[in-house]
Structure 1
């Protein structure tokens, strides 16, 4: 579970999950700033980090350690659909493993979660 609380500076929020915490904010009407990620960037970060971890796990299963791998995610908010575009970035010597790594990141836990219908309800 994540808890978020407003800070005194407009649009800034501190969020916490257990002992880990971070800051988020946004800029609206010339107020706010960039001390933390914007809320939609947190969604991108969630997917990108999960896919990167899944990629590292796939490579570890192939006995590749200390792998140079990353994932970039861009969120597009459309009228009828939200689209997450992602790019797997591998070191040239790891390109031979791209199909196996793509297969793993395409079923990563956060992607699987976001792929299901979402329901929002108060606790």
Structure 2
């Protein structure tokens, strides 16, 4: 569970998950700031981190434990759809493993969660 608490500064929010704490922020009409990620960036971050972990797990299955892996995610909000575009960045020596890594990140937990229909309900 994650809890968000409004802070005194306009649009700043403290986000808590267990012992982990972060700040989110946004800028609207000249008010607010950049003390933390914007809410949509948190969605991008969730997917990017999960895919990166999944990529590292795929490489660990291949016996590669110290590889640098990066995933970039860009969220596109359209009138009728939300699109997550992602890019898997690998060093040249890891390119041979791209198909196995891509297969693993296609099944990453956050991607699987976001791929299902969503509902929003009060607790």
Q: TM over 0.5, yes or no?
A: yes
Q: 1:19-75 deviations in whole A, cap 9, x for unaligned?
A: 001000100110111000000000000000000000000000000110111100000
Q: Which sections of structure 1, spanning at least 5 residues, go unmatched?
A: none
Rounded to whole Å, the distance in 2 between the matches of 1:67 and 1:50 is: 16
Rounded to whole Å, the distance in 2 between the matches of 1:8 and 1:93 is: 49
Q: 1:69-108 deviations in whole A, cap 9, x for unaligned?
A: 1100000000010000000000100000000000000110
**Equivalent position SS for 1:118:** coil
**Equivalent position SS for 1:54:** helix
**Equivalent position SS for 2:50:** helix
Rounded to whole Å, the distance in 2 between the matches of 1:114 and 1:37 is: 20
Rounded to whole Å, the distance in 1 between the matches of 2:64 and 2:98 is: 13
1:116 aligns with 2:116: yes
The 5 A counterparts of 1:27-66 are 27-66=27-66
1:95 aligns with 2:95: yes
RMSD of aligned Cα (Å): 0.4
Rounded to whole Å, the distance in 2 between the matches of 1:65 and 1:117 is: 35
Report how many aligned residue pairs link the two structures: 123
Report the equivalent of 1:15: 15
Q: Which sections of structure 2, spanning at least 5 residues, go unmatched?
A: none
TM-score, length-normalised on structure 1? 0.99
Runs of 4+ in 1 over 6 A off after TM superposition: none
Rounded to whole Å, the distance in 1 between the matches of 2:64 and 2:28 is: 45
